[in-house]
Structure 1
């Protein structure tokens, strides 16, 4: 039996009351490309953090080549074992390739950096691993795939032969992906082992020999890719057999299919999405789904005035939507629950009441003066309407739990009586009860004749929708009417029933 290059068993990791990994396991053999897949929140990032020595597990063990993993404090020992190339670059863009390759360990001559030796050693290293990049090029000027290869070469120069690639193809086009895969295969032939993390299951079949599936913070299965049909892989990720799925469809309140169109977008284009056509009728809830980098969030944020598309138009109630201006979008009848309640949703130094009424201050008073009693009345009504657990409108919003804080953000969105409600990951990081309460607000907005757009990674959020549009690489590639099965939607999101 070959000794595994990496063997992690029974990994447990908790953050306060949250269990990020309950049973993480992975065994990677030397020289293979091993895929790690799972839906958002399955525990992949936590496992990678433990495999790279960035955090300690609360339980379980990690071994490299049969030996226990180094102590967390010994960074050099970890660098000799493993490296991770993330979506976001860890190179310094303003430095040259050579400087990045040997950062903090430049060759010295009489106490000074020897630039000649630095360039020569960089050229040697790049040649050894067949990375065709100019050592004197500024890293910021490199294509994404070349920058990734520089990061891989830097990791290999420490002696690591186990490279984790975290969503390496997210920013690449088809030709660049092919080139990356060709380079991966060549490095594999030279004795490099890869852990490949991707949401594009199609790629797993193209480049990996083995796949491990995590779901709900647990190891589910490890199997040779060639022996695992795609359907079985999606089932393992979704957590149910196709037979049990027939009972799963949620009935959605019938909306009037002849209701007038409230939101209409034609040919919307930006760096994040391309040529999107979209309509939402009065009282209709439309979901936007897709992996990270699909363009779904940027598209939704554009309607709320956070971005300006480079092409196309959108109309709300037959009037042009103002792009790039949040206040103007609000005045036009758009309200938004943003993706990050801490950074974009709440003013932490203010009270619950102040936060809930921020969007409607102009309606609560005249000539810039807001009547305190009037504001308290509106805030109290919103607190009751959303069931926010608080001592009252004067309590600091920073005291609230995640679920109640999110309800305050939702309350503010509803306070302006919008015609279009844009919800971005509306139930992220909230408990089950708060989730139900927030989703019930979607139903009441629907009954009030509001057009609702829901962007989410959570399938439960999307079940309330009359239809779900799936974006892939910035384009709408599929539409699922209400009553879809989990495996169908996941297959669309992961790019398995369309290629492009």
Structure 2
């Protein structure tokens, strides 16, 4: 591999490389950023932390030229940021590497690095120069990756390093890393950190966004905490121990869950047989098997960020992710949940985290979406009775207060809250004995959120076992128990009464301060 001298960037001593100056941003009635001030010094790694909805994504969008602030400004090395109409000038100032890889998997590393900027001779791409330039780009930053390798074959950490090199190739020496370890195992994290520290020594400045406070303590020099669109703390990492960061993230929020005595009563009423029991269930993202039971009429919360294994565990119970080992019992009997159809037939309803990609078909009507999972039950000999389908959709739409002109209306034309109601209605259509809900109120308004919670409570009263998977404390407030997951392991259990800081601390890995 060719090697080049690592490029440097000259900044005036003491002047921030990037400065967010009194930035405000609202989306309709939602105030995402409220007078945010942030300074990132050159050659340092600055952590940005906060719970979901704190404003991190909006702040990053303003710092990368994707969103124009309503008020305030972004400064690079003391100069105002370029116009959002000049993306190439932004690329010279800042780059962002997201947790989900954005390389084109079918192309080589070299092709991804030089995409839209291939060296040509006449009208033909000169492949010798493509690989030579890519080799030089990787070598300039000491990244040992074969430029001829197909991107799809890269490890997660190699893919992220290639994306960092691509980001730096635009001229910027300031890189925003958004949850870079979410998909990494421990060995990958160690390697990534080693490379990031070396790049920092070479003059690269990082804004590091992570839910894992141990990473921030190890890698970062400064930390800023966002809460409700405001900066509530900024300090050197050495002055902000993990429990202090958690306290700043949570503020005064405290939630006590419902009385756990109801759990004991429903268990006794059903003879002590769990509605669902996981017997040493192991899936790819879990470091160790999980054994747990949920009683009829009990609500179990599983708290964990992306990469904790919580979402993979939920997906494995409805046939979206294969079980590596273990078994699932429903009503005390082994159940086949290897496909979504079999999971539905066995008595499991499911609400996915991303309703737009997995929850509904936007062009189809409310009626069609709700009936999708239960069509064989709405007729005989392969024929669906239209009146039965219409009655089902009408009843569930009324129960969930779906605001629509009729059940013939396309789901894609509904508001986000009403779309989510339709997704829950589809899960309820089969009258399941177990409901698995992943982040069930994501991106919905307060009124819709209350309606969804009311519907979940009615299902619980009907004797349905409910599992809520979320990293939002507010979504876990009605749970009888909460199990916290982190990096593929169940790390802590909570009963019916807890404080928000305890759940957040467990998800962040700050167990010793809980």
TM-score by length of 1: 0.90
What is the SS of the residue equivalent to 1:9?
A: strand
Q: CA deviation at 1:57?
A: 2.5
Q: String of CA shifts for 1:260-308, please: whole Å, max 9, x gaps.
A: 2121112222222341212111211111111112222221122223232
Q: Distance in 2 between matches of 1:420 and 1:222?
A: 44
SS of residue paired to 1:423: strand
CA distance in 2, matches of 1:461, 1:438: 11
Q: How far off its partner does 1:52 sit?
A: 1.6
Structure 1 SS opposite 2:224: strand
Using the TM superposition, name which of 200-209 and 138-147 deviates more: 138-147
Q: Hey, what's the Cα distance between the residues in 2 that align with 1:467 and 1:309? A: 24
Q: Mark the CA change 1:265 to 1:116 in structure 2 (over 3 Å): closer, same or farther.
A: same
The 1-side partners of 2:382 and 2:131 are apart by: 64
2:380 aligned counterpart, secondary structure: coil
SS in 1 for 2:511: coil
Which of 270, 273, 289 is equivalent to 2:286?
273
Please give the per-residue CA displacement for 1:53-96, whole angstroms capped at 9, x wherever unaligned. 23322322001000011122222222221111222223333444
Distance of aligned partners of 1:332 and 1:27 in 2 relative to their CA distance in 1, 3 Å threshold: same
Q: Quote the RMSD (CA, aligned, Å).
A: 2.6
> 2:257 touches 2:479 (CA, 8 Å); kept in 1?
no
Q: How has the CA–CA distance of structure 1 residues 173 and 498 changed in structure 2, closer, same or farther, with 3 Å as cutoff?
A: farther
**Equivalence map 1:313-392=2 (5 Å):** 313-392=327-406
Name which of 449, 459, 470 aligns with 2:463. Answer: 449
Mark the CA change 1:119 to 1:328 in structure 2 (over 3 Å): closer, same or farther: closer
Ranges in structure 2 where 5+ consecutive residues have no aligned partner: 1-12
- In the alignment, what sits opposite 1:250? 257
Q: Is the 8 A contact 1:306 1:323 kept in 2?
A: no
Q: Residue 490 of structure 1: CA displacement?
A: 0.3
Q: Deviations over 1:402-424 (max 9, x none)?
A: 22332233233223221111112
5 Å matches for 1:144-159? 144-159=156-171
Secondary structure of the residue aligned to 1:24 is: strand
Are 2:145 and 2:158, in contact at CA under 8 Å, matched by a contact in 1?
yes
Number of aligned positions between the proteins = 494
| Structure 1 residue 445: Cα displacement | 1.9
2:88 counterpart (55, 71, 76): 76
Q: Tell me the equivalent position of 1:285.
A: 299
Structure 1 residue aligned with 2:68, among 56, 66, 69? 56
SS, match of residue 117 in structure 2: coil
Q: Shift of the alpha carbon at 1:132?
A: 2.4
Task: Report the CA distance shift for 1:78/1:387 in structure 2 as closer, same or farther (over 3 A).
Answer: closer
Q: Which runs of 5+ in 1 are unaligned?
A: none
Q: Secondary structure at the match of 1:306?
A: coil
Contact 1:269 1:310 in 2 (8 A): yes
SS of the residue 1:127 aligns to: helix
**Structure 1 residues 449-486: Cα deviation after superposition (integer angstroms, max 9, x where no partner):** 21111112321221111111122222222211121111
1:396 Cα offset (Å):
4.3
* Displacement after TM superposition at 1:433 (Å): 1.9
- 1:95-152 deviation line (CA, Å, top 9, x unaligned): 4434433333344556654544444444444333222233444433333222322222
1:413 counterpart = 2:427: yes
Checking the alignment, whether the CA contact within 8 Å between 2:224 and 2:235 is kept in structure 1 is yes
Contact 1:252 1:464 in 2 (8 A): no
Change (3 A) 1:372 1:142: closer
Please give the alpha-carbon distance, in whole angstroms, between the structure 1 residues aligned to 2:104 and 2:444. Answer: 36
